[in-house]
Amino acid sequence: MLLKKLGLSLGVFLTIAASVTGLVIIPNWQFQGHQPMRKADGTQYPLPYFGEQAKGRAVYIDQGCIYCHSQQVRMKGYGADIRRNWGTRRSVPRDYMYHRPHQLGTMRTGPDLASIGHRQPSATWHALHLYDPRITSPGSNMPRFNYLFTEMRDGDALPVGAFPGDVIKIPPQFQNSGITQLVPNERGKALIEYLKALNQSFPLPEAQQ
């Protein structure tokens, strides 16, 4: 009698319980055995993000970079991810074992960033690009993140806590209203550190398939 009353509800509940078990719980259980590997220089891969990099990751999330940039490289022969130099190999589950929240992303209004730190290690480039993407990438439709920088005119004193080495010159043709130099602020610096740390070039064995 009760079963007849609740039959519909029970059946419906079972459908969703089945899919969450099959698609989330079982794969998660399959990933449990993943361990980081030791690189030639003694460091480990992958490593959890900490310090500046973790702070930068929070900025990446807060600014919503995921809505235009993915962080996953598809295999050779499926799309042109590797030929576009977005990575040296495909991404595998182990690359993400410490990622919380995940930032895989499903949109490429801009290029994939899974290994941006590998193909673009220059902090200067990242700073100029974040300050105004049109400096380094003419025609880009990425927003400016000028609020991650302190703008300086010639002769301005350094902002508190910045070193002379942090100052970045804006190429002359992009200088506006006397602003000639930039210093990334705390968040900007952290974000650049995080972007430079995005690197999936270590050849994990399961990535060779």
Contacting other proteins within 110-149 (CB under 8 A): 110-111, 118-125, 128-129, 133, 135-147
Q: Is 185 in the site for other proteins (CB under 8 A)?
A: no
- Which of 8, 160 has the CB closer to other proteins? 8
Q: How far is the CB of 50 from other proteins (least distance, A)?
A: 15
Question: What is the residue-wise DSSP string for 172-192?
Answer: GGG-BTTEEEEEE-HHHHHHH
Q: With beta carbons less than 8 A apart as the criterion, state whether 154 and 180 touch.
A: yes
Q: Are 87 and 36 in contact (CB under 8 A)?
A: no
Pick the closer one to other proteins by CB: 97 or 158: 97
Q: Is 177 in the site for other proteins (CB under 8 A)?
A: no
Q: Is 64 in the site for other proteins (CB under 8 A)?
A: yes
Nearest-approach distance from CB 178 to other proteins, in angstroms: 17
Tell which one of 45, 52, 79, 179 touches other proteins (CB under 8 A): 79
Min dist. Cβ of residue 209 to other proteins (A): 5
- d(CA 75, CA 154) in angstroms, rounded, equals 48
CA 75 centroid distance within chain? 19
Collapsing DSSP to helix, strand or coil, 150 comes out as strand
Residue of 49, 53, 56, 94 interacting with other proteins (CB under 8 A): 94
Q: Residue 15 interacts with other proteins (CB under 8 A)?
A: yes
Q: Quick one: DSSP state of residue 35?
A: -
Rounded Cα–Cα distance for residues 92 and 71 (Å) = 11
